[in-house]
A = this chain, B = another copy of it.
Amino acid sequence: MKQPITIPPRSGTAFRLEKGDSLTVIDPRGEQVSDLVAFSAADVREAISSGRSLDYASKLYLTTGDAIYSNRSNIMLRIVEDKVGRHDFLLTPCSRETFKIIYRDENPHQGCFGNLEVALAPFGVGPDQIPIAFNCFMNVVIHPATGVFTVEAPLSRPADFIKFRAEMDLVVGLTACSALQSNNHAFKPIAYLVERWAKT
């Protein structure tokens, strides 16, 4: 049986998915966020779009059965199983600037954004093309009247996961998130498992 691959704390990776493949993003220790971005393998200018996906779903919190649409309004991924039910699709990957502006770090980590930039470069995706991520397990709590939000500890417990099906051939970027607030102040690994569509 195929084993999940581990993404070490504060790092990232990128890989191809074929249409029909499934991708399971696993939180081995609990309370760890994983930023997911995806691009059409045929043309990486087509990318996941939070604005389209949320508009078509008429809700902020996507879960089992919901689709992630591209900027061209095509379905790129569908959530087929979700043990947590609370993920974020509002915020961009943390970056050097995030750590400077929000955390006042003088020597900031490159963050998920820098990790994705490095991982996606071989696939022809430049940094300006990195969209708002689907932030698996990220728990953003919104005060409805004011719109003020806080980033709280993820609701994911050890071994919880979210499983996606690729609805087109994709390039996927995936991280173990590098921001303190998002991960209840402890940097932990993420694991993922790709299962190939059986071509028989």
Contact = CB atoms under 8 A, between A and B. Distances in A.
Contact of A73 (B60, B71, B97): B97
> How many copies of the chain does the oligomer comprise?
2
Contact of A142 (B51, B97, B142): B142
Interface string A157-180: 000000000000000000000000
How many chain A residues sit at the interface, stated as a range, is 35 or more
A101 B56 contact: yes
B59 A148 contact: yes
B146 A51 contact: no
A61 B128 contact: no
A3 interface: no
Interface of A (DSSP majority class): loop
B92 A49 contact: yes
A101 B70 CA distance: 14
A51 B149 contact: no
A59 B149 contact: yes
Contacts of A92: 49, 51-52, 55, 71
A50 B89 CA distance: 11
A41 interface: no
A56 B102 contact: yes
A98 interface: yes
Contacts of A132: 49-51, 132
A193 interface: no
Nearest to A49: B92
Contacts of A54: 90-91, 149
B143 A55 contact: no
A61 B91 CA distance: 14
A45 B128 contact: yes
Given A59-B147, A142-B144, 15 more contacts: A49-B92, A49-B132, A50-B132, A51-B92, A51-B131, A54-B91, A54-B149, A55-B98, A55-B102, A56-B98, A56-B102, A58-B148, A59-B149, A71-B128, A73-B95
